Amino acid sequence: MVKLNSPSVGGVQTRGANRDDLRQGNLATLLEYVYKNTTISRSDLTAATGLNRSTISDLVGELVDLNLVSESESPQAGRVGRPSANVTISDSIFAITVVPRHHSTTISAVAMNGTVASRVRIATPIHPSPEEVCDAVERGIAQVRAELKRGSRVVGVAVVVSGQVDVRNNSVRICSMLKWVDVPFGSLLEERLKMPVWVDNDGSLACMAESSFGAGRGFSDIIYLFGGAGGIGGGVVIDNQLVRGSRGYAGELGHIRITDSRSVDSLGLTGTLEALVNRDDLAHALGLDDPEDDDLSRAILSATTPRAIRLIEKKIQALGFALANLVNIFNPQVILLSGFLQPLFQANDYSLLSKMRQNAVAGSREHVQIRTTELGGRILEIGGAQLAFTDLIADPARARFF
Amino acid sequence: MVKLNSPSVGGVQTRGANRDDLRQGNLATLLEYVYKNTTISRSDLTAATGLNRSTISDLVGELVDLNLVSESESPQAGRVGRPSANVTISDSIFAITVVPRHHSTTISAVAMNGTVASRVRIATPIHPSPEEVCDAVERGIAQVRAELKRGSRVVGVAVVVSGQVDVRNNSVRICSMLKWVDVPFGSLLEERLKMPVWVDNDGSLACMAESSFGAGRGFSDIIYLFGGAGGIGGGVVIDNQLVRGSRGYAGELGHIRITDSRSVDSLGLTGTLEALVNRDDLAHALGLDDPEDDDLSRAILSATTPRAIRLIEKKIQALGFALANLVNIFNPQVILLSGFLQPLFQANDYSLLSKMRQNAVAGSREHVQIRTTELGGRILEIGGAQLAFTDLIADPARARFF
DNA sequence: TGTATTTGTTGTCTGTGCCAACATAAACCC
DNA sequence: GGGTTTATGTTGGCACAGACAACAAATACA
């Protein structure tokens, strides 16, 4: 990818580019287009990239030779002129995604076209040790790969952790769900599997997925917030780039403080968004005991008791404060809400919007939208796969498979 | 600038690159190095960019032909081998910076090497109208340019506004200091001056300057906070890029809410950092009436009355909460404090650091530093000039002067 | 003074993307 | 239904940016 304009601001550290980089960048750009669109015509690629027809022909040819994309006659009729061939992303290149939970770990094979070809859930002890998860992953991958058709290629493994991850060395700083502290899980797993492993935070990956394939499509500046049983996570995309921070801990949006309340969140911080807006409170007030997401959502939207309605309104107010903070800091185009934050928004979108606007600066509050997310239960698999495919897309010619 | 790796995350919008872009990008990279370092040897450029010696020779030659840099024998002795020629940024290319205040506007000519060659302050009526500022700028530029030596070239005008600026169209959304609302000042001035005009927020520009030439050098992820009489402004640099948001309103860090306090800030928002930590309160408690920055600073650092000490501590606590929020959101490497926030930090750095750490998540709080800024009174001129030079640096061959 | 080391210079070469001309395949038009 | 229009794929030649190798130049060091 070649980025012109806006030179880097800090200490200069840009390297020069040679002819190889040029070719590599163009291949990457093309492959990214095909990946993001699953299938796209050659003429659209020409228009989008601004490259010459003959160049596109050459580059696509190379991607076909690399077995990364395939060309097919386009059945798209109705337009004057010679029909343009469709370029479709490979359906035989996979990322393995790993999502460890309290007492089970889910392993999936996700193709570049987004389909989950195979998925298994391996039970583990409660709060499994890193080794126990490694065992589960090893078994899971064997099972998952057995179901893939012959000739399938795997780029590596993406581990989606609900906790703080140092993305520079793929190690888990803290994961309360698994009770892990400073676990170099990436290295552990890499040694076992002899293939590349990437580890990242669930909120960041979900944000990335939603940005590329979900409700964030077409927006360059996005705030993503997810409310789950474990708390509130999130992610930020600025100028089409995921904000990771210096080590990858950025986007801990649940832990921003908004009030003096002494209620604490999952990390013991007081007055934070997560401390004020939590799932258990809501479920309890609505008379539910450990409900499924859908049940909680329905309950929130059809709440009738004054106490429940008051509580919901209170949560909406708190969420509004947090959103205002984020709007003031980022001036985003859109805020995406998922998990139980989604029904909160739907229960009284006017209230949430006005609370947010009340506490945001003039310019930023004016055009920001709040939306619900589009990707459902597969979001972590899609986000994890995207992480695993990143290197391949950045340098298609040098891709290695396992 | 060619950026490899990490493909854009959102809707794809990258264009392809051809050989011209390659050349342009390399010229830009080189010029940026020279600009950021003022002077740098050719061999250092070779090492930094990874380009071939002969290529550097060719590219630097082009920059010399364009009169953007000059080469000189290097007196740097002591090293084995043929001495490498020094490349120095031009001292005859200028940006005009404009900083409008309550009742005067300062116009400066800033060279690419950072020196302020000429500066005038033109008095205006209190709360001047856009036209009145235009008049002042027109007169000021004439005066400033008269002092420049023959052969000087000007790239354009950068207006530094203490308020919210829509950078897409260079218009001022709100500036309370000037009492402006929705003023398309960039267009107005451009029409008058017949040269390019850029407008941006003071906090963002100061952050950029500090990042490139001040205490932020060498860091890629920076939070900048400035405390002045008008309130608290700021800026954010992520991955060496200034965070501007979708319209340029990002970085309103003074308006993030941290408590339930009902005290209001300059925009009427309650419980925000700016509402809690303000200059007038401090000056008053220290028995000062509209003090200069230096006097206030000294007073803060030598406060003795219990009331003053208590107030300072209270401000430090509030600042700590705000910093924790920013750390949780951005995971920065360094936080830069300036204005009256600087003596607050120096008065009790331990207190500020621990308050921040207490409220930040584990990973992010561990390696973050708090520092004071390095650029003094010239910071807005340097930042403004950097804005004005951006286009020139991004495409040196196509530069136009006025 | 000679050698090692580093950097600048020059001419040649490779390969990437552009371009123009032609081929191809659809819609459109009478 | 054949000619025209429009858009896209294909091909061969071309321009030019950057790499490379060989040589020259200028320093430190023994």
Distance CA A389, CA A275 (A): 35
Nearest-CA distance B1 → chain A (Å): 6
* pLDDT value at residue A75: 66
For B317, the token pair is 């606590």
Cβ contacts, strand C, under 7 angstroms: A 19-20, 22-23, 26, 50-55, 58-59, 77-83; B 16-19, 41-43, 46, 53-54, 56-57, 79-85
Q: Are A122 and A182 in contact (CB under 8 A)?
A: no
Is A364's Cβ below 8 Å from some Cβ in B? yes
Q: Are A304 and A286 in contact (CB under 8 A)?
A: no
* pLDDT value at residue B2: 33
Distance CA A81, CA A75 (A): 13
Name the A residues in 10-49 with CB < 8 Å from any B CB: 10-19, 21-22, 24-26, 28-30, 32-33, 36-37, 48-49
Q: Are B33 and B49 in contact (CB under 8 A)?
A: yes
Q: Are A217 and A163 in contact (CB under 8 A)?
A: no
Residues near A350 by beta carbon (within 8 Å), at least 6 away in sequence? none
Q: Which of the residues in chain A have pLDDT under 50?
A: 1-12
Q: Which residue has the tokens 């001047």?
A: B128
Q: For domain B216-372, give the CATH number.
A: 3.30.420.40
* pLDDT value at residue B59: 96
Radius of gyration of chain A (CA): 23
Phi-psi label, residue B218: left if phi above 0, alpha if psi -120 to 50, beta otherwise: left
Is A250's Cβ below 8 Å from some Cβ in B? yes
Distance CA B57, CA A191 (A): 45
Q: Are A60 and A42 in contact (CB under 8 A)?
A: yes
Task: Strand D: list positions under 7 Å from protein Cβ.
Answer: 5-13, 15-21, 24-29
> Would strands A93-100 and A104-111 be described as parallel, antiparallel, or unpaired?
antiparallel
CB distance B324–A257 less than 8 Å? yes
User: Of how many residues is chain B composed?
Assistant: 402
Q: Diameter of chain A by CA atoms?
A: 68
Distance CA A104, CA A210 (A): 25
A215-372 domain in CATH 3.30.420.40? yes
For B151, the token pair is 């052969």
Q: Are A74 and A36 in contact (CB under 8 A)?
A: no
Is A167's Cβ below 8 Å from some Cβ in B? no
CA of B55 to C1' of D17 (A): 9
Is B62's Cβ below 8 Å from some Cβ in A? no
Nearest to A258 among B19, B25, B257 (CB): B257
> Would strands A231-238 and A241-242 be described as parallel, antiparallel, or unpaired?
antiparallel
Domain ranges of chain B: 19-89, 93-205+379-398, 216-372
* pLDDT value at residue A166: 97
B52 Cβ nearer than 7 Å to chain D strand: yes
Residues near B127 by beta carbon (within 8 Å), at least 6 away in sequence? B102, B178, B179
* pLDDT value at residue B10: 38
* pLDDT value at residue A184: 97
Q: Are B37 and B212 in contact (CB under 8 A)?
A: no
Q: Are B233 and B201 in contact (CB under 8 A)?
A: yes
Q: For domain A19-89, give the CATH number.
A: 1.10.10.10
The Cα-based distances of B165 to A84, A275, A332, B169, B236 in angstroms read: 44, 34, 15, 9, 16
Note down pLDDT in tens along chain B; length 402 residues.
333 233 343 344 578 888 889 999 999 999 999 999 999 999 999 999 999 999 999 999 999 999 999 998 776 667 888 888 899 999 999 999 999 999 999 999 999 999 999 999 999 999 999 999 999 999 999 999 999 999 999 999 999 999 999 999 999 999 999 999 999 999 999 999 999 999 999 999 999 999 999 999 999 999 999 999 889 999 999 999 999 999 999 999 999 999 999 999 889 899 999 999 999 989 999 988 888 889 999 999 998 899 899 999 999 999 999 999 999 999 999 999 999 999 999 999 999 999 999 999 999 999 999 999 999 889 999 999 999 999 999 999 999 999
Distance CA B203, CA B226 (A): 7
> Which top CATH class is B93-205+379-398?
alpha beta
* Model confidence pLDDT, tens digit, residues B258-309: 999 999 988 989 999 999 999 998 999 998 888 888 999 999 999 889 989 9
Is A184's Cβ below 8 Å from some Cβ in B? no
Q: Which residue has the tokens 């036209």?
A: B131
The Cα-based distances of A22 to A34, A199, B2, B19, B124 in angstroms read: 19, 29, 9, 8, 52
What is the CB-side half-sphere exposure of residue A65 using CA atoms within 13 A? 9
* pLDDT value at residue A373: 96
* Short-list A336, A280, A330, A32, CA closest to B255: A330
The Cβ of residue B121 has, within 10 Å, a number of other Cβ atoms equal to 14
* Short-list B142, B229, B242, B136, CA closest to B189: B136
Residues near B263 by beta carbon (within 8 Å), at least 6 away in sequence? B270, B271, B275, B276
Residue of A nearest to B328 (CA): A252
Calculated CA dihedral for residues A233, A236, A237, A241, nearest 10 degrees? -90
Name the B residues in 257-286 with CB < 8 Å from any A CB: 257-261, 267, 269-271
* pLDDT value at residue B76: 66
* pLDDT value at residue A3: 34
Kindly report the CA angle at A225 between A219 and A229, in degrees rounded to 5? 150
The Cα-based distances of B141 to B101, B103, B108, B120, B156 in angstroms read: 16, 18, 8, 9, 11
Q: Do A93-205+379-398 and A215-372 show the same overall fold?
A: yes
The Cα-based distances of B298 to A85, A252, B257, B279, B306 in angstroms read: 72, 37, 29, 14, 17
* Model confidence pLDDT, tens digit, residues B240-256: 999 999 999 999 999 99
* Model confidence pLDDT, tens digit, residues A27-67: 999 999 999 999 999 999 999 999 999 999 999 999 999 99
Question: Residues 66-105, chain B: which have Cβ under 7 A from strand D?
Answer: 77-83
Amino acid of residue B206: A
